[in-house]
């Protein structure tokens, strides 16, 4: 593609536009989206901050290789629909990625402008293009014919499978996604709160796949409802496993089973998937007392803390390392701080104490100091024994990480795993022929965009295999 005629003069020195946010006081009691999205005026300024580099490092750095340079040019020209079309060449999920992608680690980290000034706000521009095009989803899908090619099964409906479905259906494969839960989207549906990713955005971007001919089967647990072998016998020529890392790590401290102690998964599933924030208008309850402590420093911890806070609980995040080591998206940390969530750094829980009915009422903590760097390159926290102290608490949420979902692996011993993670070769293929895997089930916990990268790579490998052996029917 030739570079578009530019109607603008790049102006990288203009200040990076700040996303308008819902007022922190309103947020405190609302499930509504926090980040409101750029105005067209802001888009104009922000898009012109892009230098339209001859060698756009941002495109290389985006795991989906979205043509960032070109879609930004379209935005600068006011061609908002066409910006969305450019993104669609690589991704049907700009509404999701524009909101939850850790762009500071990928495209924005690589942006040339960022060497001297703040990088171009690529994520927020992507989101703008998506929001602008939302109402066109059906029309977009209508341009694709119904697929007629070989059948491919994708297990799990998280980002890894979703992008694989997009690529495969465009190559004419008949794609079926099997999902264990009753809603689609994986972590996007049960983990990430509405105030970060409104459910209608997720639904609409998934509906686009549906309109393109991707079939979705919910309430289906691969390995339980049917085995991989049975799926193959039903005519699926290749299978992709994108079952994610849903198995929560436990803290392993006394008192962990007291009432009021949750894993982040349970807490977030109750609230996001089952909509406990609407209880009793929604049927599933969640127990949130006056004081909540969330243990951990990743995205799950921020999400759980921000929900607890919204539901009226005085909320503290307890993290055994320091602020710079927090693993959540930068934006979420800032939003959590704005919303009044307290952070206790260099502290870890050692025990929980309950009342006579078995409800948690105190957490015993210990202070840490940072020692030598560990295998992850971060300085390992070392406990200071004399610092034990107890804090009163009503709700405790353990957000200390997840391991791959073991269900399928347990009944499929042919799948070789290491510490629960499915092992794959360079093509994304597992130890079982024509069975591929990617996303969190291979990486352990990671990010939406890396899961998508894996799904895309697997789709390509499946296409290469199936198109080179057409005789297998």
Ligand X SMILES: Cc1cc2nc3c(=O)[nH]c(=O)nc-3n(C[C@H](O)[C@H](O)[C@H](O)COP(=O)(O)OP(=O)(O)OC[C@H]3O[C@@H](n4cnc5c(N)ncnc54)[C@H](O)[C@@H]3O)c2cc1C
What does the binding site for ligand X look like in residue numbers (CB under 6 A)?
100-102, 155-161, 178-181, 186-187, 191-192, 220-223, 242-244, 246, 268, 299-300, 303, 329, 405, 407-408, 439-441, 445-449, 451
Tell whether residue 57 is a contact of ligand SF4 (CB under 6 A). yes
Tell whether residue 217 is a contact of another protein (CB under 8 A). yes
Distance between CA atoms of residues 221 and 230, nearest Å: 13
Tell whether residue 76 is a contact of ligand SF4 (CB under 6 A). no
Tell whether residue 51 is a contact of ligand SF4 (CB under 6 A). yes
Tell whether residue 442 is a contact of ligand SF4 (CB under 6 A). no
- The values of phi and psi at residue 195, to 5°, are -75, -5
Q: Shortest approach of another protein to residue 248 CB, angstroms?
A: 5
Pairing of strands 151-155, 236-241: parallel
Pairing of strands 261-263, 395-398: parallel
Nearer to ligand X, 246 or 260 (CB): 246
Question: Which residue among 5, 145, 280, 377 contacts another protein (CB under 8 A)?
Answer: 280
Nearer to another protein, 257 or 469 (CB): 257
Which residue is it, tokens 């004081």? 291
What one-character DSSP code corresponds to residue 272? I
Closest CA to 393 of 268, 312, 294, 310: 294
Binding flags for another protein, 388-407, as an x/- string (CB under 8 A): -----------------xxx
Question: Which residue among 262, 277, 307, 319 contacts another protein (CB under 8 A)?
Answer: 262
- Partner that binds at residue 242, options ligand SF4, another protein, ligand X, none, CB closer than 5 to 8 Å by kind: ligand X
Tell whether residue 111 is a contact of ligand SF4 (CB under 6 A). yes
DSSP codes, 260-290: TEEEHHHHHIIIIIS-GGGTTSSS------S
Q: Shortest approach of another protein to residue 250 CB, angstroms?
A: 6
- Partner that binds at residue 357, options another protein, ligand SF4, ligand X, none, CB closer than 5 to 8 Å by kind: another protein
- Helix, strand, coil content of the chain in percent (nearest 5): 35, 20, 45
C-alpha dihedral (94, 97, 100, 101), degrees to nearest 10: -150
Distance between CA atoms of residues 84 and 165, nearest Å: 19
Which residue is it, tokens 């399928």? 408
Tell whether residue 113 is a contact of ligand SF4 (CB under 6 A). yes
Instruction: Give Dmax over CA atoms of the chain in angstroms.
Output: 73
- Size of the residue set binding ligand SF4 (CB under 6 A): 26
Question: Which residue among 27, 69, 208, 434 contacts ligand SF4 (CB under 6 A)?
Answer: 69
Q: Shortest approach of ligand SF4 to residue 189 CB, angstroms?
A: 19
Both tokens of 379, joined, read 């300085």
Both tokens of 254, joined, read 């006394």
- The values of phi and psi at residue 466, to 5°, are -70, -30
Q: For helices 40-47 and 122-133, what crossing angle results, to 10°?
A: 140
Evaluate whether 407 touches 223 at the Cβ level (below 8 Å): yes
Closest CA to 434 of 425, 442, 443, 444: 425
Residue range at the interface with ligand SF4 (CB under 6 A); choices 78-86, 102-110, 132-140, 344-352: 102-110
Q: Shortest approach of another protein to residue 220 CB, angstroms?
A: 7
Alpha-carbon distances of 57 from 54, 69, 104, 155, 284, rounded to whole Å: 9, 9, 14, 33, 47
Closest CA to 454 of 421, 429, 419: 429
Question: Which residue among 44, 57, 82, 284 contacts another protein (CB under 8 A)?
Answer: 284
Nearer to ligand X, 158 or 213 (CB): 158
Tell whether residue 11 is a contact of another protein (CB under 8 A). no
Chain residues in the site for another protein (CB under 8 A): 180-182, 190, 217-221, 224-226, 246-248, 250, 256-257, 259-260, 262-263, 265-266, 269-270, 274, 279-285, 287, 357-358, 405-407
Contact residues: ligand SF4, CB under 6 A: 50-53, 56-58, 62, 64, 66, 68-69, 72, 97, 101, 103, 106-107, 111-113, 120, 122-123, 126, 449
């Amino acid at each position: 593609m030739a570079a578009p005629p530019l109607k603008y003069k790049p102006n990288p020195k203009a200040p990076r536009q700040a996303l308008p946010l819902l007022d922190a006081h309103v947020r405190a009691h609302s499930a509504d989206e926090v980040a409101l999205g750029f105005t067209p005026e802001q888009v104009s300024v922000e898009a012109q901050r892009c230098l339209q580099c001859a060698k756009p490092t941002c495109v290389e750095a985006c795991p989906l290789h979205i043509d960032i340079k070109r879609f930004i040019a379209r935005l600068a020209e006011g061609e908002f629909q066409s910006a969305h079309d450019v993104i669609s060449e690589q991704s049907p999920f700009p509404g999701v990625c524009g909101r939850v992608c850790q762009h500071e680690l990928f495209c924005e980290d690589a942006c040339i402008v960022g060497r001297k000034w703040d990088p171009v706000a690529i994520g927020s521009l992507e989101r703008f293009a998506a929001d602008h095009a939302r109402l066109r989803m059906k029309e977009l899908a209508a341009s694709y014919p119904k697929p007629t090619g070989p059948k491919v099964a994708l297990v799990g409906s998280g980002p890894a499978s979703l992008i694989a479905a997009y690529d495969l259906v465009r190559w004419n494969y008949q794609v079926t996604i099997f999902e264990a839960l009753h809603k689609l989207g994986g972590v996007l549906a049960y983990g990430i709160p509405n105030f970060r990713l409104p459910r209608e955005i997720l639904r609409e971007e998934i509906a686009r796949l549906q309109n393109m001919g991707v079939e979705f089967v919910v309430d289906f647990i691969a390995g339980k409802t049917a085995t991989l072998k049975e799926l193959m016998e039903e005519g699926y020529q290749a299978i992709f496993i994108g079952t994610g890392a849903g198995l929560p790590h436990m803290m392993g401290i006394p008192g962990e089973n007291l009432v009021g102690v949750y894993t982040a998964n349970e807490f977030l599933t109750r609230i996001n998937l089952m909509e406990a924030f609407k209880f009793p208008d929604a049927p599933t309850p969640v127990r949130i007392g006056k004081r909540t402590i969330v243990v951990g420093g990743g995205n799950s911890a921020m999400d759980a803390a921000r929900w607890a806070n919204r539901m009226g609980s005085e909320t503290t995040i307890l993290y055994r390392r320091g602020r710079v080591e927090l693993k959540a998206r930068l934006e979420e940390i800032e939003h959590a701080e704005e919303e009044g969530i307290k952070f206790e750094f260099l502290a870890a829980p050692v025990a929980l104490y309950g009342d006579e009915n078995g409800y948690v009422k105190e957490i015993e903590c210990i202070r840490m100091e940072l020692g030598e760097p560990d295998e992850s390159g971060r300085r390992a926290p070392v406990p200071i024994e004399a610092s034990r102290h107890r804090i009163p608490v009503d709700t405790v949420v353990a957000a200390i990480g997840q391991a791959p979902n073991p269900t399928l692996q347990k009944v499929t011993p042919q799948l070789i795993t290491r510490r629960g993670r499915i092992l794959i070769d360079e093509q994304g293929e597992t130890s079982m022929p024509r069975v591929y895997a990617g996303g969190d089930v291979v990486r352990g916990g990671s990010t939406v965009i890396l899961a998508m990268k894996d799904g895309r790579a697997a789709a390509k490998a499946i296409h290469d295999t199936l198109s080179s052996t057409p005789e297998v029917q």
